[in-house]
Protein backbone atom coordinates (compact mmCIF):
# COMPACT_ATOMS: atom_id res chain seq x y z
CA UNK A 1 0.00 0.00 0.00
CA UNK A 2 2.82 2.40 0.82
CA UNK A 3 4.45 1.68 -2.55
CA UNK A 4 1.22 2.52 -4.41
CA UNK A 5 0.89 5.71 -2.36
CA UNK A 6 4.33 7.16 -3.02
CA UNK A 7 4.44 6.14 -6.70
CA UNK A 8 1.05 7.69 -7.47
CA UNK A 9 1.89 10.84 -5.52
CA UNK A 10 5.28 11.13 -7.19
CA UNK A 11 3.87 10.67 -10.68
CA UNK A 12 0.76 12.87 -10.49
CA UNK A 13 1.91 15.41 -7.88
CA UNK A 14 -1.47 15.21 -6.12
CA UNK A 15 -2.63 14.47 -2.61
CA UNK A 16 -3.38 10.75 -2.23
CA UNK A 17 -5.37 8.68 0.24
CA UNK A 18 -5.53 4.89 0.40
CA UNK A 19 -8.19 2.31 1.15
CA UNK A 20 -7.36 -1.38 1.60
CA UNK A 21 -10.36 -3.69 1.07
CA UNK A 22 -9.80 -7.09 2.68
CA UNK A 23 -11.78 -9.94 1.10
CA UNK A 24 -10.21 -12.84 2.99
CA UNK A 25 -11.89 -15.19 5.48
CA UNK A 26 -9.76 -14.28 8.52
CA UNK A 27 -11.67 -11.75 10.63
CA UNK A 28 -8.60 -11.09 12.79
CA UNK A 29 -6.36 -10.13 9.84
CA UNK A 30 -6.71 -6.36 9.60
CA UNK A 31 -3.40 -4.47 9.11
CA UNK A 32 -3.82 -0.70 8.83
CA UNK A 33 -0.27 0.62 8.70
CA UNK A 34 3.16 0.12 7.13
CA UNK A 35 6.29 0.66 9.22
CA UNK A 36 9.93 0.80 8.15
CA UNK A 37 12.98 1.30 10.37
CA UNK A 38 16.62 1.44 9.34
CA UNK A 39 19.65 2.93 11.11
CA UNK A 40 17.69 5.54 12.99
CA UNK A 41 15.39 6.49 10.12
CA UNK A 42 11.75 5.39 10.16
CA UNK A 43 8.54 5.67 8.19
CA UNK A 44 5.01 4.96 9.42
CA UNK A 45 2.20 5.03 6.86
CA UNK A 46 -1.38 4.52 8.10
CA UNK A 47 -4.19 3.82 5.63
CA UNK A 48 -7.96 3.35 5.58
CA UNK A 49 -9.32 -0.20 5.66
CA UNK A 50 -12.56 -2.04 4.95
CA UNK A 51 -13.04 -5.64 6.08
CA UNK A 52 -15.73 -7.34 3.98
CA UNK A 53 -16.07 -10.36 6.27
CA UNK A 54 -17.20 -8.22 9.22
CA UNK A 55 -19.94 -6.30 7.38
CA UNK A 56 -23.61 -6.83 8.30
CA UNK A 57 -25.71 -8.34 5.53
CA UNK A 58 -28.96 -6.71 6.70
CA UNK A 59 -27.40 -3.24 6.59
CA UNK A 60 -25.95 -3.81 3.13
CA UNK A 61 -29.27 -5.12 1.79
CA UNK A 62 -31.02 -1.93 2.91
CA UNK A 63 -28.37 0.36 1.44
CA UNK A 64 -29.05 2.34 -1.76
CA UNK A 65 -25.34 2.53 -2.52
CA UNK A 66 -24.45 0.34 -5.57
CA UNK A 67 -21.18 -0.54 -3.83
CA UNK A 68 -23.26 -2.46 -1.26
CA UNK A 69 -24.10 -4.95 -4.03
CA UNK A 70 -20.39 -5.47 -4.67
CA UNK A 71 -19.78 -6.19 -0.97
CA UNK A 72 -22.79 -8.54 -0.79
CA UNK A 73 -21.44 -10.40 -3.81
CA UNK A 74 -18.06 -10.90 -2.15
CA UNK A 75 -19.72 -11.96 1.12
CA UNK A 76 -21.79 -14.52 -0.78
CA UNK A 77 -18.68 -15.85 -2.51
CA UNK A 78 -16.90 -16.20 0.84
CA UNK A 79 -19.61 -18.68 1.84
CA UNK A 80 -18.74 -20.95 -1.10
CA UNK A 81 -16.92 -23.45 1.14
CA UNK A 82 -19.59 -23.29 3.86
CA UNK A 83 -22.74 -23.81 1.80
CA UNK A 84 -23.79 -26.06 -1.07
CA UNK A 85 -23.63 -24.83 -4.64
CA UNK A 86 -27.43 -24.86 -4.96
CA UNK A 87 -27.78 -22.46 -2.04
CA UNK A 88 -24.93 -20.33 -3.38
CA UNK A 89 -26.59 -19.95 -6.79
CA UNK A 90 -29.87 -18.96 -5.15
CA UNK A 91 -28.02 -16.35 -3.11
CA UNK A 92 -26.46 -14.84 -6.24
CA UNK A 93 -29.81 -14.87 -8.05
CA UNK A 94 -31.36 -13.13 -5.04
CA UNK A 95 -28.75 -10.41 -5.37
CA UNK A 96 -29.60 -9.94 -9.03
CA UNK A 97 -33.35 -9.80 -8.28
CA UNK A 98 -32.84 -7.08 -5.69
CA UNK A 99 -30.52 -5.23 -8.05
CA UNK A 100 -33.10 -5.25 -10.86
CA UNK A 101 -35.74 -3.88 -8.49
CA UNK A 102 -33.61 -0.86 -7.60
CA UNK A 103 -33.95 2.46 -9.35
CA UNK A 104 -30.49 2.45 -10.86
CA UNK A 105 -29.32 3.53 -14.32
CA UNK A 106 -29.30 0.57 -16.69
CA UNK A 107 -25.55 0.84 -17.38
CA UNK A 108 -24.84 0.44 -13.65
CA UNK A 109 -27.12 -2.60 -13.44
CA UNK A 110 -25.30 -4.14 -16.41
CA UNK A 111 -21.90 -3.68 -14.77
CA UNK A 112 -23.07 -5.03 -11.41
CA UNK A 113 -24.72 -8.10 -12.97
CA UNK A 114 -21.50 -8.78 -14.89
CA UNK A 115 -19.55 -8.42 -11.63
CA UNK A 116 -21.84 -10.91 -9.86
CA UNK A 117 -21.45 -13.42 -12.70
CA UNK A 118 -17.67 -13.32 -12.33
CA UNK A 119 -18.00 -14.54 -8.75
CA UNK A 120 -20.00 -17.66 -9.65
CA UNK A 121 -17.31 -20.36 -9.92
CA UNK A 122 -19.20 -23.46 -11.06
CA UNK A 123 -17.31 -24.32 -14.23
CA UNK A 124 -19.25 -25.62 -17.22
CA UNK A 125 -21.79 -27.49 -15.11
CA UNK A 126 -25.58 -27.98 -15.32
CA UNK A 127 -25.92 -25.75 -12.26
CA UNK A 128 -24.09 -22.92 -14.01
CA UNK A 129 -26.29 -23.39 -17.08
CA UNK A 130 -29.33 -23.13 -14.78
CA UNK A 131 -27.87 -19.93 -13.33
CA UNK A 132 -27.50 -18.48 -16.83
CA UNK A 133 -31.07 -19.45 -17.73
CA UNK A 134 -32.42 -17.83 -14.58
CA UNK A 135 -30.61 -14.58 -15.41
CA UNK A 136 -32.17 -14.73 -18.88
CA UNK A 137 -35.65 -15.13 -17.39
CA UNK A 138 -35.08 -12.31 -14.92
CA UNK A 139 -34.03 -9.89 -17.67
CA UNK A 140 -36.89 -10.70 -20.08
CA UNK A 141 -38.99 -7.99 -18.45
CA UNK A 142 -39.37 -5.11 -20.98
CA UNK A 143 -37.90 -2.74 -18.39
CA UNK A 144 -34.67 -4.74 -18.46
CA UNK A 145 -34.46 -5.42 -22.20
CA UNK A 146 -30.90 -5.41 -23.50
CA UNK A 147 -29.28 -5.98 -20.10
CA UNK A 148 -28.38 -9.62 -20.74
CA UNK A 149 -26.96 -8.80 -24.17
CA UNK A 150 -24.75 -6.09 -22.69
CA UNK A 151 -23.58 -8.40 -19.90
CA UNK A 152 -22.67 -11.05 -22.48
CA UNK A 153 -20.81 -8.40 -24.47
CA UNK A 154 -18.79 -7.50 -21.36
CA UNK A 155 -18.05 -11.21 -20.81
CA UNK A 156 -16.81 -11.52 -24.39
CA UNK A 157 -14.64 -8.39 -24.22
CA UNK A 158 -13.05 -9.47 -20.94
CA UNK A 159 -12.39 -12.97 -22.27
CA UNK A 160 -10.67 -11.42 -25.31
CA UNK A 161 -8.58 -9.19 -23.04
CA UNK A 162 -7.54 -12.16 -20.91
CA UNK A 163 -6.61 -14.06 -24.05
CA UNK A 164 -4.57 -11.14 -25.37
CA UNK A 165 -2.75 -10.70 -22.06
CA UNK A 166 -2.05 -14.42 -21.87
CA UNK A 167 -0.72 -14.34 -25.42
CA UNK A 168 1.57 -11.42 -24.62
CA UNK A 169 2.90 -13.18 -21.53
CA UNK A 170 3.60 -16.30 -23.56
CA UNK A 171 5.35 -14.17 -26.15
CA UNK A 172 7.47 -12.52 -23.47
CA UNK A 173 8.48 -15.89 -22.04
CA UNK A 174 9.32 -17.20 -25.50
CA UNK A 175 11.42 -14.09 -26.15
CA UNK A 176 13.35 -14.57 -22.91
CA UNK A 177 13.93 -18.23 -23.72
CA UNK A 178 15.23 -17.33 -27.18
CA UNK A 179 17.69 -14.78 -25.78
CA UNK A 180 19.00 -17.31 -23.25
CA UNK A 181 19.26 -20.00 -25.94
CA UNK A 182 21.24 -17.66 -28.22
CA UNK A 183 23.68 -16.86 -25.41
CA UNK A 184 24.11 -20.55 -24.56
CA UNK A 185 24.80 -21.49 -28.17
CA UNK A 186 26.70 -18.46 -29.46
CA UNK A 187 28.80 -17.37 -26.48
CA UNK A 188 31.29 -18.78 -24.01
CA UNK A 189 29.41 -17.38 -21.01
CA UNK A 190 28.72 -19.79 -18.19
CA UNK A 191 25.26 -20.26 -16.67
CA UNK A 192 25.90 -17.83 -13.80
CA UNK A 193 27.01 -15.07 -16.18
CA UNK A 194 24.00 -15.58 -18.48
CA UNK A 195 21.70 -15.42 -15.47
CA UNK A 196 23.30 -12.13 -14.43
CA UNK A 197 23.11 -10.66 -17.95
CA UNK A 198 19.48 -11.59 -18.57
CA UNK A 199 18.12 -11.18 -15.06
CA UNK A 200 16.74 -14.72 -15.15
CA UNK A 201 17.15 -17.40 -12.52
CA UNK A 202 19.80 -20.09 -12.81
CA UNK A 203 17.03 -22.70 -12.82
CA UNK A 204 15.49 -21.01 -15.87
CA UNK A 205 18.85 -21.00 -17.69
CA UNK A 206 19.38 -24.70 -16.91
CA UNK A 207 15.85 -25.49 -18.09
CA UNK A 208 16.52 -23.83 -21.47
CA UNK A 209 19.92 -25.51 -21.74
CA UNK A 210 18.35 -28.94 -21.21
CA UNK A 211 15.90 -28.27 -24.04
CA UNK A 212 18.64 -27.43 -26.56
CA UNK A 213 19.37 -30.07 -29.19
User: Domain residues of the chain, as ranges?
Assistant: 2-51, 55-145, 159-211
Strand bridging mode 19-22 / 33-38: unpaired
Per the CB < 8 A criterion, the answer to whether 44 and 34 are in contact is yes
> Nearest CA to 91 among 66, 64, 73?
73
CA pair distance 135, 144, nearest whole angstrom:
11
Residue 35 is predicted with a pLDDT of 93
Q: Where are the alpha helices (DSSP H) in the chain?
A: 2-12, 57-62, 66-78, 85-100, 106-118, 126-138, 147-186, 191-198, 202-211
Q: Rg for the chain (alpha carbons), in Å?
A: 24
Burial-class residue 48 by CB neighbours within 10 Å (0-12, 13-18, 19+): exposed
pLDDT tens, the chain, 213 aa long: 888 888 889 988 999 999 988 888 888 888 999 999 999 999 999 999 999 888 888 888 888 788 888 888 888 777 765 556 667 777 777 878 777 777 777 777 777 777 777 776 666 667 777 777 777 777 777 766 667 677 777 667 766 666 665 565 466 577 778 788 888 887 778 888 888 778 788 888 888 888 776
Residue 43: strand, helix, or coil: strand
Residue 124 is predicted with a pLDDT of 61
Residue 64 is predicted with a pLDDT of 79
Residue 209 is predicted with a pLDDT of 83
CA pair distance 207, 83, nearest whole angstrom:
43
Amino acid sequence: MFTYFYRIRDRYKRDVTSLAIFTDQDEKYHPDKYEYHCCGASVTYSFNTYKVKTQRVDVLEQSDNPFAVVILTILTALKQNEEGHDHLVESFLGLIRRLLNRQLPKHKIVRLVAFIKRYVHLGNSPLFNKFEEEIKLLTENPAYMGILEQVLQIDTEEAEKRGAISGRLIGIEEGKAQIVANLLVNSDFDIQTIASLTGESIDFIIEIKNKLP
